[in-house]
Amino acid sequence: MKPRIAIIISTTRDTRIGDKAARWIADAAESHSEFEAEIVDIRDFDLPFFNEPASNRWVPSKDPAALRWQKKIGEFDGYIFVTAEYNHSISGALKNALDQAYVEWNRKAAAFVGYGGVGGARAVEHLRGICSELQMMSVQSAIHVGGADFMGIMQGQKSFSDLSYMDPMINGMFADLLWWVKALKTARAATAAG
Chain segment 26-78, per-residue pLDDT in tens: 999 998 999 999 999 999 999 999 999 999 999 999 999 999 999 999 999 99
Confidence band of 1 (pLDDT split at 50, 70, 90): confident
Q: Determine if the pTM surpasses 0.95.
A: yes
Quote the CA–CA distance of 145 and 166 in Å, as a whole number.
Answer: 9
Q: Is residue 65 within 8 Å of 47, Cβ to Cβ?
A: yes
Q: Is residue 116 within 8 Å of 143, Cβ to Cβ?
A: no
Quote the CA–CA distance of 37 and 22 in Å, as a whole number.
Answer: 11
What value does the mean pLDDT take over residues 141-157?
Answer: 95
Quote the CA–CA distance of 141 and 154 in Å, as a whole number.
Answer: 24
Beta bridge mates, 40? 8
Q: Is residue 153 within 8 Å of 182, Cβ to Cβ?
A: no
Closest C-alpha to 79, from 144, 119, 135? 135
Give, for 173, the enclosing helix (H) or strand (E): helix 167-193
Q: What is the pLDDT of residue 117?
A: 83
